[in-house]
């Protein structure tokens, strides 16, 4: 497909020669052929011209769930990747929250094959342990060779510290990336929201910040002993940011992420007992949000993820204590981040992270393959059901005022607009 983008504003901080400039961009057979102030349209070319159209290198989401296999009623891989494309993402990392979990090379091959031919690239994780049960390491080397870009027992903390030690030592032979979900289950107990004033008022069982931070301290001590690469996903507390910042200053090879909704909502939203606000880690308080935002800005938090987790209505519309965790987040991610950080910083945030998985970072330059996100950063709207493309509708951002409209992507020779 040949495409001409007319008078688009380029946001690409890594390319100072084009950053914030308005240009025409000609794309032929999936490659950027020409960038100029004015390019005349040719015959048989798709021309896109919209007021205030912006473009940037394609966005990256380091944590999504699609359900398939096993939970197709929540989301299929096909519709999940379509939703990601419409939300501006050219690359997504697929978590291991499926049934069965991907703990062998055939499982990774299935996921890679299911994502073939799509506009958005799918990069699967493999489970760290067999069946994600936390007892025996899975076939990490075989899964790496099959295309797994990291190893994670999705949302399941590894209680066996020795197993984490062995995993970090083992993967150094092939530069593998080990995930450890930050939660001490004994400290968390039966809690399901942030422990604090709100949980006390509502009579809900709380999860103290200590439950996250204690696990991080343990994991960082183990990493210091073993070496290797450790990723701590979706941190949520102010002290977690400090712990990881201190570890990085010591030279430890640790990375971390936080979820978009943990930058936006506090546990005050729980007052109506709406289970769409039930997430893991839980929504925290204003102090935590301020620290997380600062951590994103200064680079302590390496990248922000949607933590997109579709959940069928039967699992959400029940008593709060029995409701499933999770919220969808792809469709609302840009609008939320842009509202917090502004357009240029948001583009920087959404293009971070590929380096931790040895994925090529796209560029907007002549001769490069086109991997581009298209958006208008200035349109303000109330996020509603009509903006949801996911099969499941459990969005924590419903009725939130967001800033920034996404049009789609150009990637893998395809236009989703």
Rounded mean pLDDT, 17-24: 96
Mean pLDDT of 157-184: 97
Long-range contacts from 160-168, C-beta under 8 angstroms, 24+ separation: 160/134, 160/135, 161/218, 161/222, 163/129, 163/134, 163/135, 163/137, 164/219, 164/222, 165/222, 165/225, 165/226, 166/137, 167/128, 167/137, 167/140, 168/222, 168/223, 168/226, 168/227, 168/228, 168/229, 168/230
Residue 104 DSSP code: S
pLDDT band at 343 (very low <50, low <70, confident <90, very high): very high
> Residue 44's pLDDT band (boundaries 50, 70, 90)?
confident
pLDDT band at 14 (very low <50, low <70, confident <90, very high): confident
Q: Which domains does the chain have, with CATH numbers?
A: 3-55+365-416 (2.30.40.10), 58-357 (3.20.20.140)
pLDDT for position 179: 98
Q: What band does 173 get if pLDDT is binned at 50, 70 and 90?
A: very high
pLDDT in tens, 297-326: 999 999 999 999 999 999 999 999 999 999
Mean pLDDT score, 159-184:
97
pLDDT tens digit string along 120-165? Answer: 999 999 999 999 999 999 999 999 999 999 999 999 999 999 999 9
- Residues 304, 256: Cα–Cα separation, whole Å: 9
As a whole-number percent, the residues of the chain with pLDDT over 90 amount to 98
Q: Which residues does the annotation mark as catalytic?
A: 307
Q: What is the pLDDT of residues 48-98, one digit of tens each?
A: 999 999 999 999 999 999 999 999 999 999 999 999 999 999 999 999 999
Does 41 have pLDDT greater than 90? no
Pick the closest to residue 351 from 50, 55, 144 (CA basis): 55
CA distance 260 to 320: 22
Query: d(Cα 74, Cα 390) in Å, to the nearest integer?
Result: 9
């Amino acid at each position: 497909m040949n495409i001409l983008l007319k008078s688009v504003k380029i946001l690409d901080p890594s390319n100072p020669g084009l950053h914030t400039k308005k240009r025409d961009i000609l794309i032929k057979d999936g490659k950027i052929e020409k960038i100029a102030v004015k390019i005349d349209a040719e015959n048989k070319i798709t021309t896109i011209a919209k007021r205030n159209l912006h473009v940037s290198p394609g966005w990256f989401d380091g944590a999504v769930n699609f359900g398939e296999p096993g939970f197709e009623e929540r989301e299929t891989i096909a519709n999940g990747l379509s939703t990601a494309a419409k939300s501006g993402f050219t690359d997504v990392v697929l978590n291991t929250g499926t049934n069965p979990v991907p703990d062998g090379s055939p499982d990774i091959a299935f996921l890679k094959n299911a994502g073939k031919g799509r506009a958005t690239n799918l990069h699967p994780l493999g489970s760290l342990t067999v069946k994600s049960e936390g007892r025996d390491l899975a076939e990490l080397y075989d899964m790496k060779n099959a295309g797994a870009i990291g190893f994670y027992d999705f949302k399941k903390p590894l209680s066996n510290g020795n197993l984490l030690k062995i995993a970090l030592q083992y993967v150094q032979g092939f530069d593998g990336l080990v995930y450890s979900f930050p939660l001490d289950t004994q400290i968390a107990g039966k809690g399901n929201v942030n422990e604090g004033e709100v949980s006390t008022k509502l009579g809900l069982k709380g999860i103290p910040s200590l439950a996250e931070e204690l696990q991080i301290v343990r994991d960082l001590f183990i990493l210091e002993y073993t070496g290797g690469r450790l990723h701590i996903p979706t941190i949520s507390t102010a002290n977690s940011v400090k712990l990881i910042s201190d570890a990085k200053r010591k030279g430890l090879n640790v990375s971390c992420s936080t979820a978009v909704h943990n930058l936006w909502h506090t546990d005050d939203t729980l007052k109506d007992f709406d289970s769409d606000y039930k997430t893991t880690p839980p929504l925290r308080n204003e102090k935590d949000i301020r620290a997380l935002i600062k951590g994103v800005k200064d680079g302590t938090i390496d990248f922000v993820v949607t933590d997109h987790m579709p959940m069928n209505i039967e699992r959400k519309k029940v008593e709060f204590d029995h409701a499933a965790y999770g919220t969808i987040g792809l469709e609302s991610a840009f609008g939320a981040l842009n509202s917090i950080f502004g357009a240029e910083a948001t583009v920087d945030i959404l293009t971070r992270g590929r380096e931790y998985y040895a994925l090529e970072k796209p560029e907007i330059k002549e001769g490069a393959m086109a991997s581009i996100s298209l958006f208008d950063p200035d349109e303000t709207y109330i996020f509603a059901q009509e903006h949801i493309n996911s099969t499941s509708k459990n969005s924590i951002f419903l009725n939130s005022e967001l800033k920034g409209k996404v049009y789609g992507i150009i990637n893998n020779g395809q236009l989703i607009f």
